[in-house]
Structure 1
């Protein structure tokens, strides 16, 4: 494995990688910077193209076999330069630029599995946890409505822990996406504390789309008007609401429980 040494922080490649810390830069180059060998392996296994691997001089010794990345260039940086690129306080010594796959499917769903719709989820940690929870529950498509945090934000990437690479994520206009889902036979269920039914009293058909709203404001009135049904999670304790990622887990695994019961 040949390693190319970069000694200047003003190198053009370093400038490019630094730009990937911003949404504008990620959209300009169509790629993201991921950190750590575990995430690198997850991305490669999921079929994401690895454009380049970046290591710090200190991280070279612990570098594992990268033969699974045949033909990918590896660049070594001074530790101080490498630290400028990554988002964590204790860098792991390896990062990579990976290409974000293009969505060419529009609003089409491949099968009949559940879909998760998110209306203006703003916290990166919440979105990352939701993506991981959705994958665990068998959800392949997560659609992000207006106001939702960039799914390739470094904090989202870390908290999703690899699920980002295996989930079909699309940025959509929910005002258009929900009617399109209905045309494909999907039943769209929203959440509301004012709903008449508890989430476990609702029968969810195989083609169900769960809609979750903003952490503070919930689902916007315009988007809420498009749903087919609404449910609430009973809370006998003295709390007003649950974290949206917890809500996602409760609802998605109730869907899964009902589907398993029917098998």
Structure 2
């Protein structure tokens, strides 16, 4: 197959970099169509040994990498199938209309770091399969399940027996006062990078805000999500 620069309508996507590709090989080898390796990669023999042991197709082809990666420092590319996913009934991160692909990838990586593996996306979203997302996740993308819901009400219809915590600026329920039941299930809900959550989320579940000084308008989405994940998972991760 002659691969071109990534397009959203394609049935496959790419992940760039040796470490993320190895994460893909370990987590979801069944999704891999092919691994493309540059002659400049200094561990070709080791990677080829891994690929051959798992029966994964590979090709050593600098020309193809240059055509699809648009960067001079990419030496390994994983080509993988896009598949529909369904989240489980564990703890969830819920993102409402995320628009920044780098932020989305970083949040996914942070989720895995704190032992969370289910991501619900509400409404419109940036392209989750864009290589900017998979690269920012450093391969953690393949350790999470991602499911889309048209609106928050569709999500709540399916996931009822849990605490819902929208993170908002306009409320007086600080994170430090939230009682976290390590045995209970929760969903942490975050809004769009620019607009945050719509006002009606104040009436959903138990809204929370992260205390901060008045010297900034708000925390970056990835920072806020990371703080929240740590707070809710600190007992489980020790």
TM > 0.5 fold call: yes
SS of 1:210's equivalent?
A: strand
User: Pick from 171, 178, 190: which aligns with 1:212?
Assistant: 190
Counterpart residue number, 1:22: 7
Deviation at 1:69, TM superposition (A): 2.3
| Equivalent residue pairs, number | 231
Deviating 4+ runs (over 4 angstroms) = 258-261
User: Pick from 20, 43, 46: which aligns with 2:27?
Assistant: 46
Larger radius of gyration: 1
Higher relative contact order (CA 8 A, sep 6+): 2
Q: Measure the CA separation in 1 of the matches of 2:80 and 2:49.
A: 17
Deviation at 1:146, TM superposition (A): 1.7
Output aligned runs, 1:104-123, within 5 Å: 105=86, 108-109=88-89, 112=90, 114-123=91-100
Q: Give the unaligned 5+ runs of structure 2.
A: none
Counterpart residue number, 1:231: 208
Cα deviation 1:148-195 (Å, max 9, x = unaligned): 21221111111111110111112222330123111xx11111011111
Q: Is the 8 A contact 2:105 2:134 kept in 1?
A: yes
Q: Give the unaligned 5+ runs of structure 1.
A: 1-12
Q: Is the 8 A contact 2:65 2:74 kept in 1?
A: no
Deviation at 1:37, TM superposition (A): 2.1
Deviation at 1:80, TM superposition (A): 4.3
SS of 2:35's equivalent?
A: strand
Q: In angstroms, what is the RMSD of aligned CA positions?
A: 2.2
Output aligned runs, 1:121-132, within 5 Å: 121-132=98-109
Deviation at 1:139, TM superposition (A): 0.9
Change (3 A) 1:157 1:260: closer
1:76 counterpart = 2:60: yes
Change (3 A) 1:61 1:193: closer
